[in-house]
Amino acid sequence: MTYPATTDLCDANEDRIATGALRVLAPGWRSFGGLKGFAGPAVTLKAFEDNTQVRTILGEPGEGRVLVVDGGGSMRCAMVGGNLGVLAAKNGWAGVLVNGCVRDTRELAACEVGIYALATHPQKSVKANGGQRDIAVQFPGGVVRPGDWVYADEDGVLVSDISLG
């Protein structure tokens, strides 16, 4: 799938940035998946150091959507690893955006899905079946709501209230 470059979207939508309809998330995202860029409508999840719901959601048909995981920016464990990367690719997810850490980076790099996160951590998360799905999540730089469009590439991550093509 092709996706527009985030730089081009910013240049063409300065008015939407000014109104907050297009949000530029704070820098610092790193690409870990086999695809270096992706775009799609957001499915949101807020889950702190517990990836049980991440697995559940990625087990569903992705239909080109992006799973946006608000892990609270935790640097104490990974929310996505190699098995979940394989699951996301197999089920047709365009991407996974994690406000937190991932692990199994060699495995993630072999998956045909975009995966962006803040850092890596070798320890897995707990399994307590916690989390809230389909709610607005606050990321550094802006809020992400269910159905918002997420655009990610090597230059950054954007969130729009509508598809920008």
Annotated binding-site members: 81-84, 103-104
Task: Please give the angle made by the CA atoms of 128, 92 and 2, to the nearest 5 degrees.
Answer: 130
Specify binding-site residues for Mg(2+).
Answer: 104
Tokens of 163: 């598809």
Specify binding-site residues for substrate.
Answer: 81-84, 103
Q: How far apart are CA 152 and CA 131, in angstroms?
A: 24
How far, in Å, are 10, 25, 103, 127 from residue 16 at the CA level?
9, 14, 35, 39
Q: How far apart are CA 162 and CA 30, in angstroms?
A: 24
CB count within 10 Å of CB 121 equals 19
Helix (H) or strand (E) holding 43: strand 38-46
